[in-house]
Each structure stands twice: as C-alpha cells, then as structure tokens.
Amino acid sequence: MKRDREREELKSARMPLESLEEQNRLGLLSELSELSGEEIRQRREATVKRLRVLWQKRRLLLRVLVCSFALGVAVALLIPKRYEAVERLMPPDSGSGTGQAILAAMIGGRTGSGPVGGLGALAGDLLGIKNSGALFVGILGSRTVQDRLIEQFGLMQLYETKKIEDAREVLAKHTNLSEERKSGIITIVVTDHDAHRSAAMAQAYVNELDRLVAQVSTSSAHRERMFLEERLKAVKVELDHASHDFSEFASKNTAIDIPSQGKAMVEAAATLQGEMIAAESQLRGLQAIYTDQNVRVRALQARVAELRAQLGKLGGSSNDAGTSEVRNDPSYYPPIRQIPLLGVTYFNLYRQAKIEETVYELLTQQYELAKVQEAKETPSVKVLDVAVVPTKKSFPPRFLIVCSFMLLGPLLVSALLLAKESWNGVDPQDPGKRFVLEVVDSVQADVLRFAPEGSFQRRVLARLGLLQDVSVRPSPEHGLRQAEESNSEVARAAGSSL
C-alpha cells in the first residue's frame, strides 16, 4: 500500500513538469512563427520594391528590348552560313573475315538463326581481331589524306593560314569522322561555308580512302601480286631480247622454218638432179646423131649447165654461207650443206624464245589470279549515302540568337537597375561604399588625365554624366573638412553672441 501511494505522489509531481515543458514548446513555436512571418513580410516588401523599380523603368526596358532585337538580327545576319555535307559508308569487309565467320557461326548455332553481326563484331574485338571500320576512320584522319585535301582544294588560302599544320587543325575542326558501334556504318561530315565545296570535300575523303586502302594493303595476295608484277617486267624484257635475237638471226640467214626449208630444199635438189640426169641422157643421144653446132644440141647443153648451176646453189659449199654476195642475193636461201649448222643456232634461239613466252604466259595468269585474290582480301569502300550539295544551312541558328539577345539584354539591364537601387540604399558613411567611390574617382581622374579636351572619351563621359561627377563630386575628406569648418563657424558665432 505504501508503495502504491509513493507511485501516485511521483506521478502527481511529474505532471506539472510535463505541462511546463509543453508550454515552453508552444511559446517557442509561436515566437518562431512570428519571426518567420516577419521575415516573409520583409521578403515580400523587398520583392515589391524591386518590381516597382522595374515598372518605373519600363520604357527603358522596352527600348533595351527593341535594341536587343535589332542587335540580335544584325549579329545573326553577319555570321557567315555553314553547310554540312554527310557521306556514309557501309561496314567494310574485315581482312580477318575467316575468324569472324567462325565466331558468327558458333554464336549463330547457339542463339538461333537471328542476326549475330553485333555479337560477332563484339567477340572479334574481345579476341583482338582487326576492325576495318576503325582502320578506315584512322586512315580518313591521317596526315596523308589531310595534305591531299589541302592541296586539292587550296585550303591554306581558304583558311588564311601560313603553315600547313594550322591548315590541318582547321580542317580537323571542320570534319567529323565517326563509326556507329552497333551497325558499323562510318559517317563523314564536312562543314564549310560553300555548300558545293563541302560535298566535294566529303567525296574527296572517300576517293582518298579508296586509293590509300589499295596502296598500303599488306595482305599476302598484295605481296604476291607485287612479286609477280616485278617478275613480269623482268620476263618481258628477257622475252623481248630473245624474240629480237631469234628474228634477227632468221632474217639474216633467211631461216624461216629450218625443218620445212630443209625438206623442201632436199625435194627440190632431187627434182633438179632427176631433170639433169634426163637432160644429160638426151644430150648424149643427140650428140651421137648431130654435131655440137646443132641447135638442139646447144639448147640441151645450156639446159644441163643451168640445172647443174641450180643444183650447185642448192647444195652449196662450206664457203658460200659466209660470202656477202650470196647473202645479198634476193633469191638466196640457206644451202643444204649449211642447214644442219643453222639448225643448231636456230633451235637454240627458238627454244629460248618459247621458254620465255611460256614463262610470261604462266606469270600473266598467276598475276591476274593474284589481282582477283587481292581484290577479295582488300577491304572495299562501299558508299551507302553519297554526299549531296546541302540546301539547308547548319549554322547559325538565327532564331535562337535573336531570342537570346532579346532575353539577355533586358535581364542585364534589369540586373544593373536593381544593383544601382541596392547601391543607392547603402549608407553613404559605409566604409565599403566610401572605398568604392574613391577607387572610381581615381580611375576617372586617370582617364581624364590622358584624354585631351574635346576628345571622344570626354564626350562619352559627359554623355554618361560621369564627367560632371568627377569635377564636382567632393571626396569624403573634403566633406569632413567642410563639416569641421561649419562647426567652428557656428561655435564662433555662439561665443560672440554671448
């Protein structure tokens, strides 16, 4: 029982304490509400004061708005136009297409028959397979391509640069090269003040890319083609020499076709020999009947002599081939005695010419095959969108420029008006304000010191109302001095009156 009473007494003692704490809390909340209400009222008064200042200067703000509009229109019209020519290239065939094809087949076998180009390209990048798209972008941004375009379009004179390095920097700023990650499409964007020149420069980029890709190709087919090309040149020279030696020998010795000529000459010699034997037999028969002065006998004798002479020409001798008289004879053919000797040289030269001709034909075939293989292995430049002459400018955005001027002009003037109003509201005896006035007075004095009388600077200052302030505005020390003098005069006057 005693414990219950003690508990009730403690509860009754705690109740006043809790009520006091609750009253303190309510008092603090009321004070805070009164303070917040006073602060809100002051803020509203300050906002209304600022709005009143701007409303009083509404005509000035309207004039500033009109002037900002005119200035924005002038700036927008004075900025030169720029045009963008866009050319897009298809994703090139990679030089390591076998590896990517295997990867694509593996991924396609697991994911189904859907498109796997992006996965194949990603796997190729992860495994270090060369990306021809990035290679193309690097070639387009190379110094070689830039120098060719600078020379082709005279960009040093156009960009008004004296050094080619500066022209390269300006050209790089006017060119945007990018490759889409997913599709692999390469985009070339050229910006220029002339629409036709921008399109021509974009197409020149593609032409230079195609030329350089074929020129600096390092594939095995390219190396094979270069080797075959050099061998073809050397074999062509050897073939020309062999053909020249063979034709010169055949023309010099009238050796057109030694086997056919030998067969024909043997047959001709046999025919002549038979005719000569028949003529000699007939001559002996006539000589047995007639005398040597008989016409028929003499005719047969002349015939036998001519047949013997012709047979001697066909047979020849070991000294006939070297005589110039025989060689100069238009009816000369190599005698039968010289055919074996001529045949050795003839067949040697003929064999050499045929060998060189066969080698040249084989190398030509291999060279053409190497060219086809090189064309397959060389990444080809396939144009998706050809750069056309743009008809719409890309810069400047004149509407945005005019709107920006119309917005910034009144805002700036409003800020200046509010700052001036706030400055005027500062106590003149404030040390900061007095220091700022001293600095402004000293700067104006320095400006007027170097500005002659009637100069443009003085007229501007007078127009702005600053020249008069400089001449008549008293310094803070001067105001204090005048206050002290006036106080002393008042004291003297009071003393004299007493």
Strand 186-192 to 383-385 pairing: unpaired
Q: Measured in whole angstroms, how far is the alpha carbon of residue 498 from the centre of its chain?
A: 101
Pairwise CA distance, residues 301 & 303, whole Å: 5
Q: In the predicted model, what is the mean pLDDT of residues 168-192?
A: 92
Given a contact cutoff of 8 angstroms between Cβ atoms, the answer to whether 357 and 235 are in contact is no
Q: Per residue in 229-244, pLDDT tens?
A: 898 889 888 888 888 8
Q: Is the pLDDT of residue 147 over 90?
A: yes
Q: Is the pLDDT of residue 498 over 80?
A: no
Q: Per residue in 271-326, pLDDT tens?
A: 777 777 777 777 777 777 777 778 787 888 788 788 777 777 666 654 544 444 44
Q: Domains in the chain, ordered, with CATH?
A: 83-95+130-217+381-385 (3.30.70.1130), 227-376 (no CATH), 428-497 (no CATH)
Tally Cβ neighbours within 10 Å of residue 362: 11
Q: Position of tokens 């990306």?
A: 131
Name beta bridge partners: 190: 85, 175
pLDDT band at 403 (very low <50, low <70, confident <90, very high): very high
Q: In the predicted model, what is the mean pLDDT of residues 87-109?
A: 56
The packing angle between helices 258-289 and 339-377, to 10°, is 160
pLDDT band at 216 (very low <50, low <70, confident <90, very high): confident
Pairwise CA distance, residues 396 & 38, whole Å: 51
Q: Measured in whole angstroms, how far is the alpha carbon of residue 289 from the centre of its chain?
A: 109
Q: Per residue in 452-476, pLDDT tens?
A: 666 666 676 666 555 554 444 444 4
Which residue would you say has higher pLDDT here, 490 or 393?
393
pTM (2 decimals)?
Answer: 0.53
Q: Could you tell me which residues come within 8 angstroms of residue 314 by beta carbon, excluding any fewer than 6 positions away?
A: 265, 268, 269, 272, 335, 336
Top mean pLDDT of 205-219, 264-278, 354-368, 437-451 is at: 354-368
For 331, the token pair is 């009816």
pLDDT band at 483 (very low <50, low <70, confident <90, very high): very low
Strand positions, DSSP E, 22-99: 83-89
pLDDT band at 220 (very low <50, low <70, confident <90, very high): confident
SS3 content of the chain, % helix, strand, coil (to 5): 75, 5, 20
| Whole-number percent of the chain with pLDDT over 70 | 63
CA torsion, points 321, 324, 326, 331, in degrees to nearest 10?
120
Which residue would you say has higher pLDDT here, 54 or 476?
54
Which residue would you say has higher pLDDT here, 405 or 31?
405
CA distances from 285 to 256, 290, 296 (A): 42, 9, 11
Output the pLDDT for position 428: 79
Output the pLDDT for position 256: 64
Q: Is the pLDDT of residue 188 over 50?
A: yes
Output the pLDDT for position 321: 46
Output the pLDDT for position 12: 55
Q: In the predicted model, what is the mean pLDDT of residues 207-219?
A: 79
Q: Is 192 helix (H, G, I), strand (E, B) or coil?
A: strand
Given a contact cutoff of 8 angstroms between Cβ atoms, the answer to whether 367 and 228 are in contact is yes
Pairwise CA distance, residues 320 & 333, whole Å: 11
Q: What average pLDDT is seen over the chain? A: 74
Q: Could you tell me which residues come within 8 angstroms of residue 276 by beta carbon, excluding any fewer than 6 positions away?
A: 304, 307, 308, 311
Least confident of 17-31, 250-264, 481-495: 481-495
The packing angle between helices 58-78 and 2-56, to 10°, is 70
